[in-house]
Amino acid sequence: MFTRTDDKITTSQAAVFLTNTVLGAGILTMPRSITQEMRTPDSWLTILVGGFIVMLTILLMVKLSQQFPGQTVFQYAGRIAGRLPSLLLCLLLVVYFILVAGFEIRSLAEVTLFFLLEGTPIWAVIIPFIWAGTYLVLGGINSIARVFQIVFPITILVLLVSFGFSLRLFDFNNLRPVLGSGVLPVLHGLKSSVLVYTGSEVVMTLVAFMQHPQQAVKAMIGGIAIPFALYFLTIVFVIGGLSIDSVINSTWPTIDLIRSFEITGFFVERLEFPLMVIWLMQMFCNFCSFFFQASLGISQLFKFSVTPVIYGMVPVIFLAAMVPNSIQDVFALGDAIGSMGLALFLMLPVLLSFIWILRKKGLKQHV
């Protein structure tokens, strides 16, 4: 049952779990969203700055979670902030996880329709993926982590091979001038760069499931360092290969870069199809992680048995996925979720840590 944290995962599984939670549809659209915000070639600088901010916040999350061994944020928030305030905060977090799960499964369906199954009703793509996700989530965090460990190395390999072959299109002039418009555009793009790391909130539940929670700092920093490096490589290769104007006007700029060349004599001449297939698997992993987190939250907050909670989530996530009417609505929903995630990502650990420090000081003074 998810109400307990007996189902343990190893340090490496925890790191891969965080990586697969953060890596989702964002890598396909992130170059466009950040470049649109900045209008300069300095997006890679924004990714670097945003990544370091995220790492510091994750460090805070880990240190807070380590104060309550074996407990997730849904359990220890009440001990810090009181029953009612913590319930409201945690319910916000659950709603956020449901919305992200819906967004990821809808993005997965949109990519599938756009490139592979044109003309298929969107619900006919979404429903099988939700049911497959339900089956995986029913197995608990250990089953999910094992699937992630299978998908993760294939994802990295295909992505790096694709970027390697795209070097033939790479032009350093597309990344110049560095800071040509000053530092302000870099700061202006910070919000968008931090948004691509949404999903890092799962750190506050993952630590409770670790076999060796004392290694959580290493696992979580390692887990976020991989998306950090991949996002940096993606923005450099996509802007370097396509130019700013092309990236801004592209719906899926990362895929458009890979579609821009053929590899004569290679066993796969066009790499966008293996990239799309593996990235559909990656987005499915991403969806399952948020599905699990939302089910975990409801189960622990209200002491419900987990199986009915998971089945009850199915229609809720389906409705969340079907709310947007068009691809533009999907991106608008993504922006709204990102803003909500940014607030929760920065507010929840900081607020809880601040209250916890004050309470500890108060207890010491009374003693």
Per-domain residue ranges of the chain: 11-353
pLDDT digits (tens, 9 = 90+) for 206-241: 998 988 888 999 999 999 999 889 888 888 888 888
Residue 340: Cβ within 10 Å count: 17
Does 314 score more than 90 pLDDT? yes
Beta carbons within 10 angstroms of residue 209's beta carbon: 23
What is the average pLDDT value for the chain, to the nearest integer? 83
Whole-model pTM: value is 0.86
Residues listed for the chain:
367
Stretch among 88-97, 122-131, 189-198 having the lowest mean pLDDT: 189-198
3-state secondary structure of 210: strand
* The pLDDT of residue 317 is above 90: yes
The single-letter code of the amino acid at 128 is P
Output Rg (C-alpha) for the chain, integer angstroms: 21
Cis bond upstream, residue 177 (ω within 30)? yes
Nearest by Cα to 193 from 33, 71, 300: 33
- Compute the distance between CA of residue 141 and CA of residue 5 in angstroms, rounded to an integer: 9
Contact 204, 90 (CB under 8 A): no
Mean pLDDT value across residues 359-367 = 59
In sequence order, the 6+-apart residues with CB closer than 8 A to the CB of 37 are 188, 189, 191, 192
pLDDT of amino acid 350: 81
Best mean pLDDT range from 63-77, 326-340, 344-358: 63-77
Q: 11-353 belongs to which CATH class?
A: mainly alpha
Q: How far is CA 206 from CA 19, 61, 71, 153, 176, in A?
A: 12, 10, 9, 21, 40
User: What gap in Å lies between CA 312 and CA 208, rounded to an integer?
Assistant: 24
44 contacts 175 by C-beta, under 8 angstroms: yes
Q: What's the DSSP call for residue 249?
A: T
